[in-house]
Amino acid sequence: MDREKLPNHIAIVMDGNGRWARSKSLPRLAGHNAGMIALKEIVKRTSSLGVKHLTVYAFSTENWKRPENEVGGIFNLLVHYVERELEELNQNNVKVKIIGDYNKLPKKAVQKIEEALIKTRDNTGLQFNIALNYGSRDEIVRATKLIADKVANNEMKAEDITQSIFKEHLFTSAIPDPDLVIRTSGEKRLSNFLLWQSAYSEFVFTDTLWPDFTPECLEDAIKEYQKRVRRFGGLK
């Protein structure tokens, strides 16, 4: 792996917790718990490598369709994750950010999220972006409405709208587009994750289930990324 050619921003669809649990005859929440443990190691390795941004798909707008006990269990795990890991994240200069409408989560989860945001807001190392209650189509509709309101209120003209203006109204307005998108578990789709932002991202798909995704797997994905030639629609 070439340390001089690291992706600036890595985004991950953490898929396969349920299948991991089923393969071991465990309840699904055991898979989500194992996924949290895997996440801790990936954050540590990403930070130590010097990658600037890591975005993970933790809970989508579609995940509300899952059984109530599983959804509640995921949020409880989120609370425990913050309680266990916040001090270490802060000590390692990691800045936590949330993309998505997290205020619709349970009150305890919202409190812990805001605690993490406040405690790490001045950190200058890895920016750890957690997508919570996030869906890219909803994000795009939300941005469109915000811009439409400004046009209606004569704050801007329709002809002034550009791609840059549109980006400013996304949850990721201050975050560079991902260079590398990784999806675990063998599925090969985005599942409503960073649709606008990943227009020119490189994709790496792996059959490894998320709880088994190790820092070595991450480095393998980065090595694969470094083999790619990125043209952004032009010529080499």
Q: Is residue 220 flagged as an active site residue?
A: no
Q: What are phi and psi of 59, to 5 degrees?
A: -155, 120
d(C-alpha 212, C-alpha 78), whole Å? 19
In the residue annotation, 63 being an active-site residue is answered as: yes
- Catalytic one among 2, 8, 63, 122? 63
Task: From 136, 126, 70, select the one nearest 100 (Cα to Cα).
Answer: 136
**CB-based contacts of 133, cutoff 8 Å, min separation 6:** 59, 60, 61, 100, 101, 102, 104, 105
Q: How far apart are CA 185 and CA 53, in angstroms?
A: 22
Catalytic residue among 2, 15, 122, 129: 15
Active site residues: 15, 63
